[in-house]
Amino acid sequence: MKKKTVITISVSVAVVVVVAAAILLGIFVPVNGKMNDTEYWSEYDEFKIEDIPTIEVGDDGFTILQLTDLHYHLPHMTGQTDDIVEKLIEENDPDFIVLTGDTVYGPTNVMYSKHIAKLLDSFKIPWAIVYGNHDDEGKADKYWMGNVYENSEYSVYKNGPCNIGGTGNYAVNLTKNGQPFYSLIMMDSNRETHYNGNKEYGSFTPSQVSWYGWLQQGLVDNGYDKSMMFFHIPFPEFQDAYDYWEQSGFDPSIGSGNKNEDVCSATYNPGMFNKILEKGATTHVFVGHDHVNDFTVNYQGVTLSYGVKSSRQFYYQEELLGGTVIKISPDAEVTIERKYLN
């Protein structure tokens, strides 16, 4: 009798250990997606405009809703975060939705990448997504999440070239009456940079700067002479832009919005902003990353703009929660409006 009890307890302990191990393995063992190994890019590649998907703009122009830093990871906050996303979409009736990074966060990124893809698809509106520094800190890597996003019905996401740095460097063209109108360029600003012996915030690689230059030149050569960019981590010129605005006495014709924390860029600067100036086609740059900054400044002819943080997951400021509505008028004039929840 006593021996039987010991055996029963031993079996029970073994079952608990096996189940616990299975759960831990299920959560923490990485899952890796397939990279698209056909997409090696070289600056000598021929640019093919037909490789870039197009969306036709209506007579009233084009409305983009930028959501950022949703940070899906807390089960008890999922419903509330979904409600915010739904409210912003329903109230602003966008033609296109773009999520500028840190959409998911932590070990549950497998579950929440599928969750957000399903939620966005339910609105039947084209959507794009870029990665932030936190998206791939969990079990799934960027290719795995990229496969989820690529296979979502209304997503325009592409993993993009596999050899330039980052994952999810891609573009979408807007046409009006079938003619070139605007380009939307999505890029991965990477998780971190190792520079001068220090680990810093993510920045573009030199290859990404070259790829952008090649892409932008190809677009211009095909009649797309205006573009806007979407990525997560601001480059250092966001601070320069803010300083310029501050020195103007916060001239409202130069900038607007709030700065309540540092511009958290890498100090390493591979020259993306200079490449933008050189090409002269990108009119606007939209980022996320710094949750309580949402300022917009026109700097050297380019509008540099933070998005409004869109959820109460991770740090936030209640009065600075919401989304950003970017309207491109039929004559290609762009207006930016912060849409706060409160």
For binding to Fe ion (CB under 5 A), which residues are involved?
69, 102
| Rounded Cα gap, residues 94 and 163, in angstroms | 33
Query: Residue 308 has which token pair?
Result: 């409004």
Tokens 């990871």 — which residue? 73
Q: Which residue is nearest to Fe ion (CB)?
A: 102
| 233 vs 334, beta carbon nearer Fe ion | 233
SS3 category, 168: coil
Identify the H or E element spanning 195.
Answer: strand 192-195
Q: Taking the complex as a whole, how short is the minimal distance between the CB of residue 306 and Fe ion, in angstroms?
A: 12
| 216 vs 310, beta carbon nearer Fe ion | 310
- Burial of 106: CB neighbours in 10 Å, binned 0-12, 13-18, 19+: middle
| 69 vs 225, beta carbon nearer Fe ion | 69
Q: Taking the complex as a whole, how short is the minimal distance between the CB of residue 29 and Fe ion, in angstroms?
A: 25
| 95 vs 102, beta carbon nearer Fe ion | 102
Q: What is the per-residue DSSP string for 255-313? A: EES-B-S-----S----HHHHHHHH--EEEEEE---TTB--EEEETTEEEEEPPB--SS
Q: Taking the complex as a whole, how short is the minimal distance between the CB of residue 287 and Fe ion, in angstroms?
A: 11
| 270 vs 288, beta carbon nearer Fe ion | 288
Q: Taking the complex as a whole, how short is the minimal distance between the CB of residue 107 and Fe ion, in angstroms?
A: 17
Q: Taking the complex as a whole, how short is the minimal distance between the CB of residue 330 and Fe ion, in angstroms?
A: 34
Task: List beta partners, residue 96.
Answer: 64
